[in-house]
Amino acid sequence: MSPASGDSAPADGPAGKHIIVTGGAGFIGSHLTERLLAGGWPVVVIDDFSTGSLGNLAAVAAHPGLTIIRSQVSACAQLGDLLAGAAYVFHLAAAVGVELILKEPLAAIHTNLRETEAILEAASRCGTPLLLTSTSEVYGKSPKPWLTETDDLIIGQPHLSRWAYSCSKLMDEFLAFAHAQTRSLPVTVVRLFNTAGPRQTGRYGMVLPRFVAAALADQPLQIFGDGTQTRCFCHVADTVEALMRLQSLPTARGQIVNIGGEEEISMLALAERVVTTVGSRSAVRLVPYQEAYPPGFEEMPRRRPSIAKLELLSGFRPARSLTTIIGDVADWLRSTSHSR
């Protein structure tokens, strides 16, 4: 691994290029980094480690093709030179997790807007193709049973901090397409739905690792609300596969693409599935929203992606089951101190 200061340049890879992954020490970013390195690509990770961790990259820490730069994207002095020598950019750096966003809304807005603006400006100067990871949160309060990329977006009131996150990520999308239109930047935008798997923690409110950690400890699984709200979960390996395919496709440039799982499940059923899958003795407890979140919190009763466009463009659709996801999260938690 190159020094964390990023003093040495990455080696040449396929076509003499490297790939940049912002937020590459995070949950999804670290899996993507591993996959790229395994494919023979030198990778430059830019991460300030505010939510990411060097531990997430432990398996590839000694890889000669990995360079880690500990910095915010907007503060990275080498950004222009790095972009000039890059084949692609995967921009994953962002504020993550409902709890973090509700507690620190201003920081979340600044992170999402400033870091995205910085990477888009640098990429535009070099014409480096960029994949921007957005979120299903931009769909807001849409009542549609399937959320498709052409849907109108219904965002809540500005005094509720949840929607600050949604709007900041939506503005990231507007910025990306503005750069595409005015500066011919090759841009692909993906909207990630709930992604789960090894290395994800419940520290910022992510529901599945929180449930699994509680179940492994035979502690109560706490469901916020009445448990009827539904979500679909995608294994991180499937998410990475989709990201890899989309970034390499010229036909995906200028497109918005959903990435998510198709198996819809209520939070109550998810908790019960987790308890059964890991063989836990845990009880399930409902916690009213007013006890868990600030006043005025709004929850979406349903969020289910249409992934027809993903399959049409890339020939891929996520296939790993929810039971597989739960098992992989449990195996990872058992192998680390997180389950203690």
165 is catalytic: yes
- Annotated catalytic residue, options 165, 204, 289, 293: 165
Residue 221: beta bridge partners? 284
What is the Cα gyration radius of the chain? Answer: 19
Side chain identity, residue 325:
I
**Which contacts (CB < 8 Å, 24+ apart) does range 13-16 have?**
13/40, 13/41, 13/42, 13/65, 13/87, 14/40, 14/41, 14/87, 15/87
CA dist., res. 206 & res. 99, Å (int): 9
Q: Which two tokens stand for residue 174?
A: 């507007």
Helix (H, G, I), strand (E, B) or coil at 43: strand
322: DSSP letter: H
Nearest to 208 by CA among 54, 26, 338, 313: 338
Q: Which are the catalytic amino acids?
A: 165
